[in-house]
A and B are shown apart, each in its own frame.
Chain A
Amino acid sequence: MAKIATRDAYGKALTELCEVRNDIVVLDADLSGSTKSGMMKKVAPERHFNMGIAEGNMMAVAAGLAASGKTVFASSFAMFAVGRAYEQIRNSIGYPQMNVKICASHAGITVGEDGASHQTIEDIGLMRVIPGMTVVQPCDGPEAEAAIKAVAELKGPCFVRLGRSAVEVINDSPDYKFELGKANVLKRGSKVALVATGCLVHEALKAYEMLKEEGIEVTVVNLHTIKPLDETCLVELAKTHDVLITCEEHSILTGMGSAVCELLSEKQPVRILRIGQKDVFGESGKPAELLHKYEMDAEAIVKAVKGVY
């Protein structure tokens, strides 16, 4: 099966957008080759500004461009785009609701060998607490392309969380549809629903196959939009399942799992287990090794399901 990193899909989608829209301006902080924001230079080099290794400045410059009517895509590694520049995003982009799309790559523990300093496990939390910020994490190439095109149409601040590693393409069927704020139910089962986002959608699907061989059929949902949450879908899942298991390569604190807990504890209480980074820093290693060690791979998901099934 074909594999593509969501950051590559971002670069491709951004390039296509820049060909047809001249209001788009792209900023990067010396990582345009890695985040893939630099791909659009082949169609509109004059609209790509390298802001150097100065993420805080980059985000406020993005705000200034947006205040002058531009649709701005600002990229860096998620650790620095969101972590280093948090307060600039909060005050110069979030508060005035600027039309800036923060497309940050190398998110989560699957950055791999670079180690804990580069493995942001807090970025979903940091971004979703900003009022009016849309938070999206696509799970594969086609979804990343669709998400980028969708946020480009949306007025206001958005955070798109992208990965470093190539992931299998799963959203390649002709009837695949991406709608911001609308979760995709990938498998229909009973008792347990896996609510996954980003690259853990793939682990959830692997877990589904492993469990199926043992006669257990679970529901698998791709929750690509973390803010706003698909309340209708989540409440329905809570009503029709005994347990929900959230799966994300992010801290179990403040991430998608936390967001789901916050919603359902008020709207439709149900038991929820959270798979994610358990409030510890990561380390160097291969992405698969890290997902295994920190219990976020299919094996860990299977174990969690069996524990409650």
Chain B
Amino acid sequence: MNYQDRERIALNMRANILKMTNQAASGHPGGSLSAVELMITLFFNEMNINEDNLNDVQRDKFVLSKGHASPVLYSVLAAKGFFPESELMKFRNLGADLQGHPNMKSVRGVDMSTGSLGQGLSVAVGMSLANKLDNNDFRTYVLCGDGECEEGQIWEASMAAAHYKLDNLCAILDFNGLQIDGNVTDVMNPTPFDKKFEAFGWNVIDLENPYDYTQIEEAFAKARLCKGKPSIIIAHTVKGKGISFMENKSAWHGVAPNNEQLKAALEELGVQ
């Protein structure tokens, strides 16, 4: 997909993330807005996922290890046409398919139920092992949070991914530097990520601008080329990206915009 179309989708996704959290009066906009361009490139360029193969048990798969960023996943799946966009506005409502955190049983295109941090990377390791066993070319992608790396399980999974030489696994680290209680380096410093993942046997790819489609594509291409070890793309993201009053503020981790804030944010995006 060309950059112009992706820009259009990105704008719509940002608006949807804001609207869906607003109508639910809850949810996590900050860490959703940070990964919009990454998700678009994944779902529209990098991964082979479409209506025809959606129900296949094995295909390219995506795990949202930072499951609280469900708005960015749901909005990209709606953009893919896997369910009507109107469903987004039932997010977090009683009886809705779009649960607060992703539920693979109720949403088309959600490959794993997540929400409890640290587990998605392990699940992606399992999917990659299955693909190795079956000798196919499918790849597994997993989006992790930087705060999430404070979970010990991330490092258990990292050990396993390198041990089994899972070069069909590509992790993306949403390194926006913030978690609920503040800066990741203040709360419980999980950095340096590059040295840590290198020491754990990973191919580390630095993505300086994860809002530049060329750079994103190059990072995914580098991951594909690497053989014998898993790759992680360290994406230097901005929490709340695209909305000036939300950017780089941990307060927007798990708080929805109110009606006034929504109006201001949509005006800034230039959409209704």
Residues of A within 8 A of B (CB): 25, 46-47, 49, 51-52, 54, 56-57, 59-70, 87-88, 91-92, 95-97
- A residues in contact with B105, CB < 8 Å: 96-97
Listed A/B pairs (15) with beta-carbon separation below 8 Å: A25-B133, A57-B125, A57-B160, A60-B119, A60-B157, A63-B123, A63-B126, A64-B123, A64-B127, A65-B127, A67-B61, A68-B58, A68-B61, A88-B122, A91-B113
Q: Do the beta carbons of A57 and B156 come within 8 Å of each other?
A: yes
CB within 8 Å of A: which of B102-137? 103-105, 111-113, 115-116, 118-120, 122-131, 133
B116, B124, B128, B152: which contacts A87 (Cβ < 8 A)? B116
- B residues in contact with A46, CB < 8 Å: 133
**Given A54-B159, A57-B153, A57-B156, A67–B122 Cβ distance below 8 Å?**
no
- B122 and chain A: residue at smallest CB distance: A60
- B residues in contact with A52, CB < 8 Å: 156, 159-160, 163
Is the C-beta of B225 less than 8 angstroms from some C-beta in chain A? no
- B residues in contact with A57, CB < 8 Å: 122, 125, 153, 156-157, 159-160
- A96 and chain B: residue at smallest CB distance: B113
Q: Which of A57, A59, A63, A66 is packed against the most chain B CB atoms within 10 Å? A: A57
Q: Do the beta carbons of A69 and B116 come within 8 Å of each other?
A: no
Q: Do the beta carbons of A67 and B127 come within 8 Å of each other?
A: yes
- B residues in contact with A92, CB < 8 Å: 112-113, 116, 119, 122-123
Is the C-beta of B164 less than 8 angstroms from some C-beta in chain A? yes
Q: Do the beta carbons of B115 and A91 come within 8 Å of each other?
A: yes
Number of chain B interface residues as a range: 20 to 34
Q: How far, in whole Å, are A97 and B106 apart by their CA atoms in the complex?
A: 12
Question: Other CB < 8 Å A-B pairs besides A57-B159, A68-B57, 9 of them?
Answer: A56-B118, A56-B119, A63-B119, A63-B123, A64-B63, A66-B126, A88-B153, A91-B116, A97-B105
- A90 and chain B: residue at smallest CB distance: B116
- B residues in contact with A97, CB < 8 Å: 105
Q: Do the beta carbons of A56 and B123 come within 8 Å of each other?
A: no
B119, B127, B130, B156: which contacts A54 (Cβ < 8 A)? B156
Q: Do the beta carbons of A65 and B129 come within 8 Å of each other?
A: yes
A25, A47, A56, A91: which contacts B156 (Cβ < 8 A)? A56
Q: Do the beta carbons of A70 and B130 come within 8 Å of each other?
A: yes
Q: Do the beta carbons of B160 and A67 come within 8 Å of each other?
A: no
B103, B126, B157: which contacts A68 (Cβ < 8 A)? B126
Q: Do the beta carbons of A61 and B126 come within 8 Å of each other?
A: yes
Q: How far, in whole Å, are A87 and B151 apart by their CA atoms in the complex?
A: 13
Q: How far, in whole Å, are A36 and B105 apart by their CA atoms in the complex?
A: 33
Q: Do the beta carbons of A68 and B113 come within 8 Å of each other?
A: no
B115, B116, B160: which contacts A61 (Cβ < 8 A)? B160
B80 to chain A, nearest CB (A): 19
Q: Do the beta carbons of B159 and A67 come within 8 Å of each other?
A: no
Q: How far, in whole Å, are A68 and B61 apart by their CA atoms in the complex?
A: 10
- B residues in contact with A62, CB < 8 Å: 126
Q: How far, in whole Å, are A47 and B134 apart by their CA atoms in the complex?
A: 11
A156 to chain B, nearest CB (A): 12
Q: How far, in whole Å, are A65 and B116 apart by their CA atoms in the complex?
A: 18
Q: Which of B116, B123, B125, B156 is packed against the most chain A CB atoms within 10 Å? A: B123
Q: Do the beta carbons of B130 and A69 come within 8 Å of each other?
A: yes
Q: Do the beta carbons of B115 and A64 come within 8 Å of each other?
A: no
Q: Do the beta carbons of A61 and B113 come within 8 Å of each other?
A: no
Q: Do the beta carbons of B126 and A88 come within 8 Å of each other?
A: no
B128 to chain A, nearest CB (A): 8
Q: Do the beta carbons of A96 and B112 come within 8 Å of each other?
A: yes
B118, B123, B156: which contacts A67 (Cβ < 8 A)? B123
Q: Do the beta carbons of B104 and A49 come within 8 Å of each other?
A: no
B176 to chain A, nearest CB (A): 24
CB within 8 Å of A: which of B25-43? none
Q: How far, in whole Å, are A207 and B53 apart by their CA atoms in the complex?
A: 60
Q: Do the beta carbons of B57 and A69 come within 8 Å of each other?
A: yes
Q: How far, in whole Å, are A117 and B122 apart by their CA atoms in the complex?
A: 26
- A residues in contact with B157, CB < 8 Å: 57, 60-61
Q: How far, in whole Å, are A67 and B126 apart by their CA atoms in the complex?
A: 8
B201 to chain A, nearest CB (A): 13
B160 to chain A, nearest CB (A): 6
Q: How far, in whole Å, are A143 and B133 apart by their CA atoms in the complex?
A: 31
Q: How far, in whole Å, are A68 and B111 apart by their CA atoms in the complex?
A: 10
Q: How far, in whole Å, are A88 and B65 apart by their CA atoms in the complex?
A: 13
**Given A92-B123, A97-B105, A61–B112 Cβ distance below 8 Å?**
no
- B residues in contact with A87, CB < 8 Å: 116
Q: How far, in whole Å, are A87 and B119 apart by their CA atoms in the complex?
A: 10
- A residues in contact with B159, CB < 8 Å: 52, 54, 57
- A51 and chain B: residue at smallest CB distance: B160
